[in-house]
Structure 1
């Protein structure tokens, strides 16, 4: 997946990029130019950059799918497993539902732990910067309108 954004902040070898929205949204004239920007994203990059540069980078699709599976499927699977384990242990239906919510909370804890311990390192390894461009006059006008 290819993304593009403007560098907002540089902290040693870590850059924070304000992402452009997807191409379908970015080409629409339905909203102002300040709404063309998406969320912020940070990653490690060792080359010399400046604030305001436009960076184009790619995240491996397989990594994105693995992370999406972890975040979206794991809570559902844990919740179902909690309920069925409760049933196997002879719990009532209400206790089984309570146990499924305990397992749901456990899955969120595992995702949080994974994100804090390995997530940033995993993202840094899977990002490849394609190009870095200096902003043109049009880009500077658009970025000025973001500050208002």
Structure 2
């Protein structure tokens, strides 16, 4: 997945970039529609020619983006259905089985939150490849 953004800061080999909205994320309401900048993230780059204020074009591996989407969108549904199934198998009433499914959904979201904070952030920092740099 290719994207571009504005370099906000450079701290050693860490680069802070504010991504521009792409057409692929135009349907998302995560950011205000009037904003040109979508999200800010940090990644690691050994290139010395990146300066604050540069506009860079970068690429993330498609399999990394697909894997992240699967974890966020599919895994919670699987665990929600699994929670309901296990609740019913144990002999819970339908109401308790539904409650069990929502509890497993909440636990899955907590797991994804901690997985994102501890593991994914460090992997994604290294999965970004810079394609082009434009000076302002």
Check whether TM > 0.5. yes
Distance 1:2 1:97, change over 3 A: same
How far apart are the structure 2 equivalents of 1:41 and 1:117?
A: 15
Greater CA drift, 37-46 or 64-73 = 37-46
SS of 2:91 mapped into structure 1: coil
Greater CA drift, 80-89 or 15-24 = 15-24
Greater CA drift, 44-53 or 74-83 = 44-53
Q: Which residue of 2 aligns with 1:124?
A: 125
Partners of 1:19 and 1:38 within 8 A in 2: yes
The TM-score normalised by the length of structure 2 is 0.86
1:23 shift after superposition: 4.9
1:12 shift after superposition: 2.2
Q: Which residue of 2 aligns with 1:107?
A: 108
Distance 1:12 1:60, change over 3 A: same
Distance 1:120 1:87, change over 3 A: same
SS of 1:40 mapped into structure 2: strand
- Give the root-mean-square deviation of aligned CA atoms: 1.9
The TM-score normalised by the length of structure 1 is 0.79
Distance 1:92 1:25, change over 3 A: closer
**Based on CA coordinates, which of the two structures has the bigger radius of gyration?**
1
Flag structure 2 segments of 5+ consecutive residues without an equivalent: 27-33
Write 1 or 2 for the structure with the bigger share of helix: 1
How far apart are the structure 2 equivalents of 1:90 and 1:47?
A: 59
Superimposed CA distance per residue, residues 24-80 of structure 1 (whole angstroms, 9 cap, x where no aligned partner): 899xxxxxxx73222212211122221101111001111100100000111111111
